[in-house]
Amino acid sequence: MKILITGATGRIGSRLAKRLAQRGDQVRALVRDRTRAADPGDAGIELVQGDLLDAESLAAAVRGVEAVVHCAAFRGATAEQEHAINGLGTQHLASAARAAFVKRFLFMSAGVVYGSTGGRLAGEDDPCAPIDAYAVNKLAAERFLLALEGLDARVLRLPFVYGDGDPHIAEAVPMTRAFPPTQRLSIAHHADVAQAVARLLAAPSPAHRIYNVVDDEAPTLAALFASVSEPPPDGSDAERARTIDALLDGRRIRADVGFTPAFPRLADAIAAGAA
């Protein structure tokens, strides 16, 4: 399959692009500046220049591809900047894909769109109550895609993603140091995200559907901290911890396309040297 990936220099997109290329897909990566993009080297990844905020630049990027996997996202800036990339950028890309008769569009959303679930597993049909601007814009982009006629759009709601040499767990420690040590966090290994993408690219139906992509175990923050040799968080700011207090129910993707995590638990990835 010939696939366009956005965000191919990011945490998720870079690993996903390589995995898809390694399995034999023709992967094209959207970059804003060819001269500043990393050399794809032996990965066999084609670079195409374009900008999500420049709708006209996206026509060439989507020309001739069978699927788009939209990983690009922006978090941590102003609400206006996040809306531009996560909201308008998604609309521009989807419209270009539909005009080019792209067969399938996968959107990487986030489990934080549910808001705080208070320890309850959230299913894809449950109501969403996003807390911050990033989650609000992700949910708005989902709704735009699922309402867009003429495009087979599928949404993947991702939890905390780790593994494959990604320092995500260690980087999260300073930001969650004040969270409750017993708070659980839904997680997914990069290998399992890639597996979910591959299965949804291949599945002929159903279109316009949302999938939680999650491993079997939701470890406590104390366990995550311990995996990078850090003492447990101190629990001094339980209110702020609500921004990541969403546990995901992963039964739908297992039933629809036969997804089974390669690393069901954090301990499995650690034992395999893949954490």
Residues recognised as catalytic: 134
CA 215 – CA 161 distance, rounded (Å): 10
Instruction: Enter the tokens of residue 176.
Output: 């969650």
